[in-house]
A = this chain, B = another copy of it.
Amino acid sequence: MKYPTAGFIVIGNEVLSGRTREGNLQTLAQKLSTLGIEVRETRIVLDLEPHIIDCIRELSSKYSYVFTSGGIGPTHDDITAAAVAKAFNTELYEDPAAREMLLSHYGQENLTDERLKMAQVPRGSRLIENPVSKAPGFWLNNVLVMAGVPKIFEALVDSALPFLEGGIPVASGTLVVQIGESLIAGIMSDVEANFSQLTVGSYPYFRAGQHGTSIVTRSRNEKDVETAMETLTQRLEYVGYRVENQGIQLPK
């Protein structure tokens, strides 16, 4: 059985230079997880057309969906729409519905040429509605193009979500032990090895002078998650560790 997958491309010099901290991946991953779509790779690239084109072509052939963030505003450094058009050997045109959205927002006298640039999308695209600032995102083949401003990015993802084909969401269960991960490494790998479609992730933390580990068990089969958590708990308690069960979560 095939599960839907996603790649994510963040376009922006300001992220790679360290000026801005990337946060849209977390938003996207959490929202897609509610549909059972797994983000399998993310690339952060410069505002350079050949880089963007290569990246779009490569990821769109590898994953069910590709999402992009950034570079669809009105200025000279906003080159994502042109790059997506070239990646799919098509051209930009002014979408009448996109123009209407901008017109209703800015009014005729303030609808400058620069703002109208945001109505230019690759031929064959469908628009993705933007309730925050009106300038739409767009969707061409399996590529969904979003603005980078976090509030707008999130709103565009929400607009697209109902149209995505989902799969079975991954359930995740968390156990917490107040012990460093190296002391329980064998138990975790043993339990993981019992299942074919389940991962046991080990996430050490250090808080208030105390080492601890979050053990995160993930699978599309919720029953397996439950079984693995029970086995882990038994084995950890058997060797004398106290286990805090934080329960199983389905993405919502």
- Distance in Å: Cβ of A218 to nearest Cβ of chain B: 8
Kindly report how many copies of this chain are found in the complex they form together.
Answer: 2
Contact with B along A1-44 (1 / 0, CB 8 A): 00000000000011111111111011111100100001111111
Give the chain B neighbours of A170 by CB distance below 8 A: 17
- Are A30 and B18 closer than 8 Å at their CB atoms? yes
- Are B13 and A201 closer than 8 Å at their CB atoms? yes
Give the chain B neighbours of A39 by CB distance below 8 A: 16-18
- Are B19 and A188 closer than 8 Å at their CB atoms? no
CB nearest neighbor in B for A40: B46
Name A49-95 residues within 8 Å CB distance of B.
51, 73-77
- Are B26 and A21 closer than 8 Å at their CB atoms? yes
Binds B, one of A160-168, A179-187, A240-248: A179-187
Give the chain B neighbours of A130 by CB distance below 8 A: none
Give the chain B neighbours of A77 by CB distance below 8 A: 199-202
Give the chain B neighbours of A15 by CB distance below 8 A: 25, 42
29 contacts between A and B (CB under 8 A): A14-B216, A15-B25, A15-B42, A17-B33, A17-B170, A17-B218, A18-B29, A18-B30, A18-B33, A18-B39, A20-B203, A21-B26, A22-B22, A22-B25, A41-B45, A41-B46, A42-B44, A73-B202, A76-B189, A76-B192, A76-B200, A77-B199, A77-B200, A77-B201, A77-B202, A114-B183, A114-B185, A114-B186, A118-B182
- 20 additional A-B pairs beyond A17-B172, A41-B46, A77-B201, beta carbons within 8 Å, are A13-B199, A13-B201, A16-B41, A17-B33, A17-B170, A18-B28, A18-B29, A18-B30, A19-B216, A20-B26, A22-B22, A40-B46, A41-B43, A42-B44, A75-B181, A75-B185, A75-B202, A77-B199, A77-B200, A112-B182
